[in-house]
Amino acid sequence: MIARIFLALPALALAACGSEAPPAPPPAGAASAPADLPVMGDEVPVLAFGDSLLAGYGLDDGESYPAKLEAALRSRGVNARVVNAGVSGDTTADGLRRLEFTLNSQNKAPALVVISLGGNDMLRGLPVEETRNNLDAMLDELSERGIPVVLLGMLAAPNMGKDYASRFNAIYPAMARKHNAALVPFFLQAVMDRPDLLQDDRIHPTAAGIEAMVGDTVDTVADAIPAEEGAAPPR
């Protein structure tokens, strides 16, 4: 589970600024959505692999990030089937241990893997090199299988200290460059200053928060799907 110490920061910052706050803007991607394109082509399997941010902690069926990502991709004409392989509480070590089994258990090899791991490593203060090495090994495995990756980046909480933060925050851009993975620099960007988009625990995004996160990231995911798998239908 992504823990209170991190996702509570926006609420604490808001309280420090006083009770009077300007009206919040609408969630990213919520306005002026383009008309849906017809879904065409063969099914495109996408594996969403990570922790509670993908598992849908505290949300109803159909409200998780993988479910909403699938809907957003299909609205772009991509015949996506996004498999939710999120496990609450997972660290990168947990992910590395279960990656091979998860890949082998799929009916069809994923056309793309979306990874969100590392937040729990940071909150537990695990060694940065351990996190880096685990992500490196996972990306090596996916590269060997010829599966492209979208890496959903994480940033260290300020209370972890500047030295830890500088080393931790550098992991995701470095891994993306090394393995030619698409990168979302900070997966939680859309909700970090939006306490209204967090659940009552001030830890996990609400359904509206998930919509905002999908709006921030769906273009990156769609662009990372191999052209022969997710080519847009003719217009």
The two three-digit tokens of residue 199, written as one number: 């659940």
The two three-digit tokens of residue 64, written as one number: 């998780």
In order of their start, the domains of the chain are 4-11+43-221 (3.40.50.1110)
Residue 7 in contact with residue 188, Cβ under 8 Å? Answer: yes
Closest CA to 153 of 70, 53, 76: 53
- C-alpha 4/C-alpha 169 separation (Å) is 19
Closest CA to 223 of 173, 143, 152, 149: 149
Query: Collapsing DSSP states into helix, strand and coil, what is residue 82?
Result: strand
Annotated active-site positions, please?
52, 201, 204
The two three-digit tokens of residue 233, written as one number: 């239908």
List average pLDDT for each run of 10 residues in the chain, which is 235 residues long.
47 33 45 62 95 96 97 96 98 98 97 97 96 98 98 95 97 98 97 92 91 98 86 44
- Torsion-angle region of residue 39: left (phi > 0), alpha (psi -120 to 50) or beta? beta
Residue 229: per-residue pLDDT: 63
Residue 230: per-residue pLDDT: 52
Per-residue burial over 74-93, b = 16 or more CB atoms within 10 Å of its CB, e = otherwise: bbbbbbbbbbbbbbbebbbb
Q: Angle at the Cα of 184 (from 11 to 148), degrees rounded to 5?
A: 145
- C-alpha 7/C-alpha 13 separation (Å) is 11
Residue 78: per-residue pLDDT: 95
Closest CA to 115 of 154, 79, 145, 78: 154
Closest CA to 66 of 2, 132, 114: 114
Residue 187 in contact with residue 154, Cβ under 8 Å? Answer: yes
The two three-digit tokens of residue 151, written as one number: 């890496």
